[in-house]
Amino acid sequence: MTDSSDLGVERTLVVLKPDAVTRGLAGRILTRFEDANLKIVGVKMKQMDADFARKHYFDLEERLGAEVYNSTAGFMQSNPVMAVVLEGVNAVTTVRKIIGATLPSEAAPGTVRGDFAHQTKASADVSGKAVMNLVHASGNVEEAKYEVNLWFGEDEQFDYETAAEKLAY
């Protein structure tokens, strides 16, 4: 049997943000990942607090400033979020393609953000709120490892074989 790491199998974190959860889009978004042969190996709902938001967005303030950090952290604490660990070949890159560009107004049709999120940065700036773009996804493999370990313990991630894996590997 082939070792899955030889195939480029990775784990990555996706967080369905408060706008995805409150709009009832979780199932539709998760279906897109499963349709792309990504396997859900961990899932939980969480109400983020200020301390956890700081750990998750540890470098956001440094990269984009206090205003962006504060609006993002505040938004993420406004309602529950759903965190999901996905596993698959090139999972990080595949998830980023599925969700689309960070700014919904720049996301292509057919992506999660292109189909379900239509807020512009300008409208967010005018309202003083964070851009509601439905989904956070790890940006690279190193970030994915950090985020998966922050959100999920080893006992909250599961190894199993899907029907599609039996055919593909």
Q: Which residues, at least 6 apart from 157, have a Cβ–Cβ distance to it below 8 Å?
A: 11, 41, 42, 85, 148
On whether residue 131 sits in a domain, the answer given is no
Please tell me whether residue 2 adopts helix, strand or coil conformation.
coil
**Exactly one of 75, 136, 138, 151 is catalytic; which is it?**
136
pLDDT band for position 1 (cuts 50, 70, 90): very low
Residue 57 is classified by DSSP as T
pTM above 0.75, yes or no: yes
Which residue has tokens 């409208």? Answer: 123
Q: pLDDT for 37-91, tens place per residue?
A: 999 999 999 999 999 999 999 999 999 999 889 999 999 999 999 999 999 999 9
CATH of the domain at 73: 3.30.70.141
- 140 and 126 in contact (C-beta within 8 Å)? no
Cα 15 from Cα 28, distance rounded (Å): 14
Catalytic status, residue 136:
yes
Name the CA radius of gyration of the chain, rounded.
16
**Residue range(s) defining the domain that contains residue 146:** 4-99+136-152
On whether residue 118 sits in a domain, the answer given is no
Number of domains in the chain: 1
- 134 and 102 in contact (C-beta within 8 Å)? no
Measured distance between the N- and C-terminal CA atoms of the chain, rounded to whole angstroms: 8
On whether residue 140 sits in a domain, the answer given is yes
